[in-house]
Structure formats: structure tokens, C-alpha cells
Amino acid sequence: MSSTVEPPREQFRLSMLLNDTRYRSYTFQAIALVLLILFMAFLGMNLVRNLADLGQNISFAFLGEPAGYDINQRPISYDNQDSHLRAAFVGVLNTLIVAFLGCVTATILGTLAGILRLSNNWLVAKLMAAYVEAFRNVPVLIWILIIFFIMTAALPGPAAFRGVDPEQSMLFGAMAATNRGVYVPEPVLGPGGWLFVAVLIASVAGVFAYRRFATKMLYDTGRDLPRGWPSLGILVVPSLVVWLAFSLTAGSTPNALLVPEGAGGQTLEEYVMAEGGATLCLVDGASSSTVAKTALLRLQDAARSGPVDDRVNLNIRTNRVESREAAVAAFEEGQCTLLALPQAAAADLSVGAVLETELREGRPIEWDKPFLSGFNFSDGVQVRGSLIALWFALAIYTGAFIAENVRAGIQAIPRGQTEAAASLGLRPGRIMSLIILPQALRIIIPPVISQYLNLTKNSSLAIAVGYMDVTGTLGGITLNQTGRAIESILMLMLFYLIISLSISAVMNTFNNAVRLKER
Amino acid sequence: MQKYVLASAVAVTAIAAAGMASAQTLEEVKDRGVLNCGVNTGLVGFAAPDAEGEWEGFDVAVCRAVAAAVLGDASSVEFVSTTGKTRFTALASGEVDMVSRNTTWTFTRDVDLKNEFVGINYYDGQGFMVPKGLGVSSATELDGATICIQTGTTTELNLADYFRSNNMDYDPVPIETNAEAQQQYLAGACDVYTTDASGLAATRAAFETPGDHVILPEIISKEPLGPLVRNGDPEWADIVRWTLNGLIAAEEYGITSTNIEELAQGTNNPEINRMLGTEGNFGELLGLESDWLVNALKAGGNYGEIFERHIGENTPIGLARGLNAQWTEGGLMYSPPFR
């Protein structure tokens, strides 16, 4: 039988706050906190008082006023009558776009470079070492400017693509790299388009599911299923079947082409050649319009080929409208000379005449190709030069740091692991993907999180190349035109804080998923 | 997180604390012995360093005249180059005593941003410059064009308004400085460069082949450019205002840098006498020496002389007087009387 003797309960005395090590640290922390709060209160009061002296105050009312300026890259609809808040939001989206593209590209680049730097091939290893050293030792702003200036100086202007005998021709007739950016076709969903996209997504999910199943099979039974060709099959076959089904059969709906009164009864080619061009009312996201445009561009190309003397430059223009009703209205008002409609809808219309040519749409996805019209390329997707410069510079710069993180992670795994795996008969690729990387990831991820944060924050250098990110809109033009510096900067800080904490949170979740599970 | 907030609060407070230096600008300038003047980062003819690194130009001349009036020495000026974005902050924070940087006088800048515009030294308007090869002869043909604009300026807003009211589209390329705009424009990254017509003329004058570029006839806005000071120091605003008025009035009355010594001895014209300090105590009323305007005029001559030397028809910039002629010659330059 044993008895424990309770130590006498000590009475808490005020002096213990200083003398007792158990409480002393709390005392100092409390004092520091109070001082900090007082100091910040002093700064805040000082700010408000000084602002009042200048006759200014802190107010966020300016956010509701019309911004009055235009933004060149608009992920959401925006015009200069929208509010400063919306302009700020457009900037936020632009920041997120470049940060996302940059992070993904930097990860791919960095992982490849990090692994290849450890390659046994002397040339490859040294090349990667040179990449890492060159890019991480030069400030990112310099890289942004270098890439931007190379793009503007080396690439041709849109004017070089003009005329019957242009200096430059478009890549595959659908892409153009100019000093204002790269223009690529935009996908437009046709009949069955949604089904096709859904099947494609399902196929990708299927590939992942299959590989998971194969891994489980390997662990459970030791049977190693082939992974390469089944994955490819799962990815391609269903999509191809859907594509062919719609292209060849059911989806084909004939469209009538409407032209102004009195011009009917001829083919599209005769009409366009007689008129020297056409202006098409292009309904946003409608594949019928896209098919008509593709036909027009093909005619334009045909008219431009052949002997130089016979070439004709057809004046093709498009008039983009939101809906079919708006297109019909624009056609009636004479804002365009060509309109593509399903035959039934065309028959109901009292204006215009129908051409003999019928255009059939049937492919699930049509490509809306950019083409030169006026000063610039129109339609398609413009990847702006400023975005490319910023994106690539951030990606290769941060990629160099990630490469070092990856290398560090891999080198932290003892060589014995590799040798043991090799002695089991695993091939080098398998050793890397099954043995080394899963362990290295635990070491790689934490520093990579801070690289992502760096990249996101560095994207505020966008202003150097005129990319309208949130620093350019809210922290640039809005700040400038309204003079609300403190409010704008506070909002800007809040945004970067939120976005950085979100990235950390997501990456930490991922880190927890791959870290060593202790059972 | 506390650290972030703290650092930002320090920064913000630093801005605001510096703003305290508002009330006694004249005393400060005299104590310092140097006038801090905010000018353009480099716009030939208006404000740019010459081959020896000396700042010169139409806007610079206003700074020099004020320095001469206040300190008696036209070279006691510290020129601070400011961009379209930094100019108002530099003024509000007390980094500069005045701004003379082809800045448009607008309601919001005057009232909302708490600046004090003291007058107009150049009546301008926003124009467009395009390469001749583009074959454009009017701004109404610019639908769909890519346009370089200096960000943080009134031109940005005018451009949006103009294209909106004419139902045209454009693609803005925002740019920080005139030099950058020039580089982008010449590389063909934009079809059009837009800024004040005077700025276009000055920019074009710096091109290798100015003849290959045309300035379109449309002027889409009123851009009265003038020097400005901080709100809340009326004495200092008066000094800058009346120095500028003195330069303009001097041209009207025929006071030039060559005959000023002679006229400063006294004339039959009482207004000239009041201006040059031989009659009345106008200098004292401003808190300056009686020969303040004599010094200001000796610095670079009267308004007309400054105009001709820096941006007039005999310079590469080659601007006609136009609206900026004296009111007696059909222009808008009109100084209130010295009485």
C-alpha cells in the first residue's frame, strides 16, 4: 500500500509573475502584446489625424463608382462604365490566371530539371545545372522584361499577315504569333459537344481509376498489369467513337445562309467573289456561325492562292453578337451581309434571300479561328504578349528554385534505397517513380509551397509589361484616378494575404496526404 | 500576420506623417535653400536633362523661375522626376514643393485629390499619332486598333470616353513612361500612341524618322496643363501662381530677359513698375524680396521666350503658339492684372 503525498498547494502571489519561470514568459508576452497594441493604435491615430489635416478621410465608397478605364484582358465581361470593384475583380482574376499557369509550368519544369540534373548523362546534367544557375541568379523582373522585349522586337506585327502576298502566314492556317501576342483558335461546342466533353472527362477519370486498380492489383496479388496501352485506349476510344458518331450521322443539321435581298440563288463562293467579301453576323458560341466563318476563311485562302496576279484579297469581317435574335436584328439593320441559321429558322424570316450553298454542322467541336481583320486579329483566343512574358519568366525563374528543391529531396533519400530496388530487378524509371519520388515528395513539398507563394506574389511585377493584374487595376489605375492610396493598398495587401494563405492551406493538405503515415 | 499589418501600418503612417509638412512651404524652401520641383521623367522640350545633365524644358523653366523668385538663384532647384502615377503622392507627401509636369487641371485632381492648381502654362488637347504606313487619316478610322497609353493619366479616361461615344473598340496597352511608350510604338506593339498633342510632337521629334509618323487632326479632349502645389498653404500657392502670371504678363508688356535690367530701373508704365518692384511692395506682400519677379524673369525670360526656346517653331518639337498665344494675339494666355 502506498500513499502519495500531495505537494502543498502554493498560493499564487503577484511577485511570481516575475520570479517564477512558469509565469515569467507569460508576463513578458502580455507586456509585449500590450505595447504592440498601443504602438499600432498610435500609428492608426496618427494616420487618421494626418489624413484629417490633409482634408482626407478613409472611405471605400469609391469602389462603387464607375471605373472609367478599359482593361485589355477581361476574363469576365467588363467595360469602362463598370465599377472600380469590378475592375479590381478583373485584376484579381488576371492575377490568379497567371499565378495558376506559372505554378503549373514551374512545377513541370522544376521537377524535370531537378531529376535530370542528377542524370548520369554528363551533358544533360550540366545543361540543367546551367539552367538552374542562370535563371535563379538573375532577378525575375529582368527575365520578364527580356522575354517581353524579345517578343515585341522579334515577332512580326499583325500587318505582316495582311494582303494577298503576306510576309508571314499563319501556322496551320489557324495560329499566329505576333508581337501583340499569340492567337489560337477557340473551341466552340457544336451538336453533341457537351456529350463529347463529358466523355472526355470521364475517360480521364477512367485512366486514373484504371491505374489505381492496377496498383492495388500489384500490391494485393503481385500481378503487374500493363499500364501504357490500356490507359491510351481508355482515353482515346470512347471520345473517338462519340466524335465519329456525331460527325458522320445524326448531328448533321443543314444551315441556310442568308444574304441581303436580291443576292439569293447563287453559291456562297459566287456571292463572296462578286461582293469582294462579306460581313458575317457571328453568334457567340454558336457552331453554325463558326462553320460559316470557316467556309468564308477557306474561300479567302483560295482567293489568295494561285499566281500572284490572279490573287484577290477578300474582305472578310465578323460582327460578334450575343444571341441569335441579336444577329437577326443586326442582319435586318444591315450591319452584316451574311447570316447562318438553321433552315427552319431561316424559312420564318421575312428579310433577305437564301444562298444555294448549304453548310452542315456536325462535329462536336468546331474551332473558331482567329483571322486578320482591320488592325488586329479578331476572334479566337488571344494569349497576350504581356501574359506570355510574365507567365514564362515566372515559370522558368521559379522552376529553377523548384529544381533545386526536387534535387535536394531526391538526394536526401539514401543511395541504399536505389541499390536495393535495383537488386530487386526494378528498372530505373520504376525506381524513380515507385521508390524514390514517393519518399522524396515528403521533403520536396514544404519548400515548394513557399516557391508557389513567391511566384504568386512576384506576379505583381506584371505592371512592368502592362499586364493588368490586381496591382495594375486596383493598385495602379484605380489608385491613381481616385487618389485612394491607403484604401487601395490595404485591399491589395488583404488580397495577397488571402491568396497566400489559401495556397498554403491547399498545399499543406496535400503535404499531410503524402507525409509519412505513422501507425 | 501581425508583422504584415505592422509593416504596412508603418509604411502608411510614414506617408501620412510626411504629409504634415504642409503649412510652411515658403519657410522650408528658404531654410533648405533649394526648391524641390517634380517634373516629368523625360519628355524632350518639356522636361529632360540635356547633354550636361542639366534639366531643361518648358516645365523646368517654371520651376527655375519660382526658385529665382524665392531664393534669387535659378539653379537652386532639385528636380525630382515623377511618373504619371507618382506625381500626386510625391506632392502630398512633401517630397516636392511643387509639381510642374504637364499635368492636366481637372475637377477631381483639384478638389478630390486635394491639390491646388495655380494656373495654366500650356493649353493642350489629347491627340493620336500613327505610322504613315497604316493609311489612317482620322481618329474615327481607329476601330479595333491597339493603342499605347500612359497609365495614371487623364488620357486613359478620355480615350475610354472617346471610343465609347463613337461606338468603337480598341485594345489598350498600359505603359508607365513616355520612353517605354515610344519603344513599344516603334516596335509596332501598338498601332497608335495617344497622349497630349504637345507630348506627341515632342516624342515624334525624338524619332529617327519623324516624317514617317502623323499626328491625326482630331483633338479629343481639353488638357489645360499647369503647375500645382499642395492644398492648405495659400501663401505658397500665391507665390507660384503670381510667378507664372508674372512670366505671362511680362510677355504682354514686352519685358524680356534682354531689356529687364533697363526696365528694372523704373519706367513710365506703373504696372511694369509694380511688377518689377520699383513701385509698391508686391514682393513683400508675397513674403519675398522686392525684385522677386526680376529674378524670375532673368532666369529664362518671359513666357514667350521660354516657349520659343524649348518648344517653339524653331525647335525640333516645332509647336505653334496657337491657343497659347497672348490674349492680345488671339490666344488664351491672359494674366490677371498686377494691381
Note whether residue A276 is domain-resident.
yes
Are residues B178 and B194 located together in one domain of the fold?
yes
Is B2 within 8 Å of A36 when comparing Cβ atoms?
yes
Which A residues in the span 490-519 are in contact with B, Cβ-Cβ below 8 Å? Answer: 490, 493, 497
Q: Residue A476: list chain B partners with CB under 8 A.
A: 85, 151-152, 174
- Give the nearest partner residue to B171 out of A36, A72, A497, using CB atoms: A72
Q: Which three cell numbers stand for residue A107?
A: 512545377
Note whether residue B25 is domain-resident.
yes
Note whether residue B10 is domain-resident.
yes
Note whether residue B205 is domain-resident.
yes
- Min mean pLDDT across A206-215, A360-369, B4-13, B200-209 is at B4-13
Q: Residue A51: list chain B partners with CB under 8 A.
A: 16, 19
Note whether residue A417 is domain-resident.
yes
Note whether residue A155 is domain-resident.
yes
Are residues B113 and B252 located together in one domain of the fold?
yes
Are residues B256 and B238 located together in one domain of the fold?
yes
- Final residue of a structural domain among B189, B221, B253: B221
Are residues B51 and B192 located together in one domain of the fold?
no
Q: Does A482 touch chain B (CB under 8 A)?
A: yes
- Give the nearest partner residue to A486 out of B12, B146, B160, using CB atoms: B12
Are residues A210 and A142 located together in one domain of the fold?
no
Q: Does A323 touch chain B (CB under 8 A)?
A: no
Note whether residue B336 is domain-resident.
no
Cβ count within 10 A of residue B306: 25
Percent of chain A, pLDDT > 90? 34
Is A72 within 8 Å of B173 when comparing Cβ atoms?
yes
Q: What span, in angstroms and rounded, lies between the C-alpha atoms of A265 and B35?
A: 79
- Give the nearest partner residue to A374 out of B2, B88, B144, using CB atoms: B144
| pLDDT class of B232 with cuts at 50, 70, 90 | confident
Note whether residue B85 is domain-resident.
yes
- Range of the structural domain that residue A347 is part of: 254-368
Q: What span, in angstroms and rounded, lies between the C-alpha atoms of B331 and A120?
A: 80
Q: Residue B13: list chain A partners with CB under 8 A.
A: 43, 46-47, 50
pLDDT for res A4: 62
pTM of the predicted model as reported, rounded to 2 decimal places: 0.80
Are residues A100 and A144 located together in one domain of the fold?
yes
HEC profile for B176-188? CCHHHHHHHHHCC
Domains: count for chain B: 2
DSSP A464-513: GGT---HHHIIIIIIHHHH--HHHHHHHHHHHHHHHHHHHHHHHHHHHHH
Is A483 within 8 Å of B108 when comparing Cβ atoms?
yes
pLDDT for res A378: 81
Q: pLDDT digits over A484-507, tens only?
A: 888 999 999 999 999 999 999 998
Q: pLDDT digits over A243-285, tens only?
A: 888 777 655 567 778 787 777 777 887 887 877 878 888 887 7
Are residues A388 and A465 located together in one domain of the fold?
yes
Are residues A236 and A266 located together in one domain of the fold?
no
Are residues B324 and B243 located together in one domain of the fold?
yes
Q: Is 60 exceeded by the pLDDT of residue B15?
A: no
- Separation in Å, CA B128 to CA A42, A465, B58, B204, B263: 50, 22, 22, 11, 44
pLDDT for res A304: 75
Q: Residue B112: list chain A partners with CB under 8 A.
A: 482-483
pLDDT for res A23: 84
Residue of B nearest to A496 (CA): B4
pLDDT for res B17: 44
CATH of the domain at B160: 3.40.190.10
Q: What span, in angstroms and rounded, lies between the C-alpha atoms of A211 and A219?
A: 12
Are residues B21 and B111 located together in one domain of the fold?
yes
- Final residue of a structural domain among B193, B221, B249: B221
- Tell which residue, A335, A319, A349, has the closest CA to residue A257: A349
List CB contacts of A215: < 8 A, sequence separation 6 or more.
Answer: none
Residue of B nearest to A48 (CA): B16
Whether A313 contacts A292, CB under 8 Å: no
- Separation in Å, CA A351 to CA A152, A258, A272, A339: 47, 9, 19, 11
Are residues A316 and A229 located together in one domain of the fold?
no
| pLDDT class of A513 with cuts at 50, 70, 90 | confident
- Final residue of a structural domain among A179, A213, A248: A248
Tell me how many residue pairs between chain A and chain B have CB atoms under 8 A apart: 142
User: What letter would DSSP give residue A453?
Assistant: H
Is A40 within 8 Å of B170 when comparing Cβ atoms?
no
Q: Does A466 touch chain B (CB under 8 A)?
A: yes
Give me the mean pLDDT over the A68-74 stretch. 89
Q: pLDDT digits over B46-62, tens only?
A: 999 998 989 999 999 99
Are residues A207 and A272 located together in one domain of the fold?
no
- Distance to chain B for A206, nearest Cα, Å: 43
Which B residues in the span 19-38 are in contact with A, Cβ-Cβ below 8 Å? Answer: 19-20, 22
Q: Does A476 touch chain B (CB under 8 A)?
A: yes
The amino acid sitting at A116 is L
Are residues B118 and B175 located together in one domain of the fold?
no
- Distance to chain B for A236, nearest Cα, Å: 40
Q: What span, in angstroms and rounded, lies between the C-alpha atoms of B50 and B56?
A: 7
Are residues B171 and B292 located together in one domain of the fold?
no
Q: Residue A43: list chain B partners with CB under 8 A.
A: 9-10, 12-13
- Distance to chain B for A311, nearest Cα, Å: 22
Residue B5 burial (10 A CB sphere; 0-12, 13-18, 19+): middle
Note whether residue B236 is domain-resident.
yes
The amino acid sitting at B68 is A
- Give the nearest partner residue to A375 out of B9, B84, B144, using CB atoms: B144
Note whether residue A284 is domain-resident.
yes
Are residues B98 and B238 located together in one domain of the fold?
yes
Phi, psi of B32 (to 5 degrees): -70, -30
- Final residue of a structural domain among A321, A340, A368: A368
Q: What span, in angstroms and rounded, lies between the C-alpha atoms of B187 and A148?
A: 12
- Tell which residue, B279, B277, B243, has the closest CA to residue B260: B277
Find the DSSP H helices in A11-20: 16-19
- Range of the structural domain that residue B176 is part of: 126-221
User: A413 or A292: which carries more pLDDT confidence?
Assistant: A413
Q: pLDDT digits over A171-227, tens only?
A: 777 788 888 889 998 888 877 788 888 999 999 999 999 988 988 888 888 887 787
Q: pLDDT digits over B95-125, tens only?
A: 999 999 989 999 988 988 889 999 999 999 9
Whether A292 contacts A331, CB under 8 Å: no
Q: In a 3-state reduction of DSSP, which class is residue A46?
A: helix
Are residues B153 and B301 located together in one domain of the fold?
no
Are residues A265 and A241 located together in one domain of the fold?
no
- Give the nearest partner residue to A47 out of B13, B22, B156, using CB atoms: B13
Whether A405 contacts A451, CB under 8 Å: yes
Are residues A238 and A132 located together in one domain of the fold?
no
| pLDDT class of A159 with cuts at 50, 70, 90 | confident
Are residues A203 and A151 located together in one domain of the fold?
no
Whether A337 contacts A260, CB under 8 Å: yes
Is B157 within 8 Å of A481 when comparing Cβ atoms?
yes
Q: Does A193 touch chain B (CB under 8 A)?
A: no
Q: What is the mean pLDDT of chain A?
A: 85
User: Which single residue is written with the C-alpha cell 496479388?
Assistant: A221
Q: Is 90 exceeded by the pLDDT of residue A514?
A: no
- Min mean pLDDT across A5-14, A24-33, A112-121, B315-324 is at A5-14
Q: In a 3-state reduction of DSSP, which class is residue A504?
A: helix
- Final residue of a structural domain among B172, B200, B221: B221
Are residues A237 and A259 located together in one domain of the fold?
no
Q: Does B51 touch chain A (CB under 8 A)?
A: no
- Final residue of a structural domain among A201, A223, A248: A248
Is A54 within 8 Å of B22 when comparing Cβ atoms?
yes
Note whether residue B334 is domain-resident.
no
pLDDT for res B160: 92
Q: What span, in angstroms and rounded, lies between the C-alpha atoms of B154 and B109?
A: 10
Note whether residue A204 is domain-resident.
yes
| pLDDT class of A7 with cuts at 50, 70, 90 | low
Are residues A505 and A400 located together in one domain of the fold?
yes
Q: Residue B170: list chain A partners with CB under 8 A.
A: 70
Are residues A359 and A271 located together in one domain of the fold?
yes
> Distance between alpha carbon B253 and the CA centroid of its chain, in Å?
24
Q: Residue A316: list chain B partners with CB under 8 A.
A: none
Are residues B176 and B255 located together in one domain of the fold?
no
Q: Does A31 touch chain B (CB under 8 A)?
A: no
Domains: count for chain A: 3
Interface test with B, best of A35, A39, A54 (most B CBs within 10 A): A54
Whether A422 contacts A431, CB under 8 Å: yes
| pLDDT class of A160 with cuts at 50, 70, 90 | confident
Interface test with B, best of A47, A70, A79 (most B CBs within 10 A): A70
Q: What span, in angstroms and rounded, lies between the C-alpha atoms of A148 and A141?
A: 11
Note whether residue A378 is domain-resident.
no
Percent of chain A, pLDDT > 70? 96
Q: What span, in angstroms and rounded, lies between the C-alpha atoms of A458 and A472?
A: 13
Q: Does A56 touch chain B (CB under 8 A)?
A: yes
Is B171 within 8 Å of A472 when comparing Cβ atoms?
no
| pLDDT class of A238 with cuts at 50, 70, 90 | confident
Interface test with B, best of A51, A59, A69, A453 (most B CBs within 10 A): A69
Q: Which three cell numbers stand for residue B65?
A: 523661375
Q: Residue A374: list chain B partners with CB under 8 A.
A: 143-145
User: B80 or A304: which carries more pLDDT confidence?
Assistant: B80
Q: What span, in angstroms and rounded, lies between the C-alpha atoms of B34 and A458?
A: 38
Are residues B231 and B157 located together in one domain of the fold?
no
Cβ count within 10 A of residue A306: 11
- Tell which residue, A145, A110, A150, has the closest CA to residue A131: A110
Q: Does B174 touch chain A (CB under 8 A)?
A: yes
Give me the mean pLDDT over the A447-455 stretch. 92
HEC profile for A220-258? HHCCCCCCHHHHHHHHHHHHHHHHHHHHHCCCCEEEEEE
Is A480 within 8 Å of B84 when comparing Cβ atoms?
yes
Note whether residue B335 is domain-resident.
no
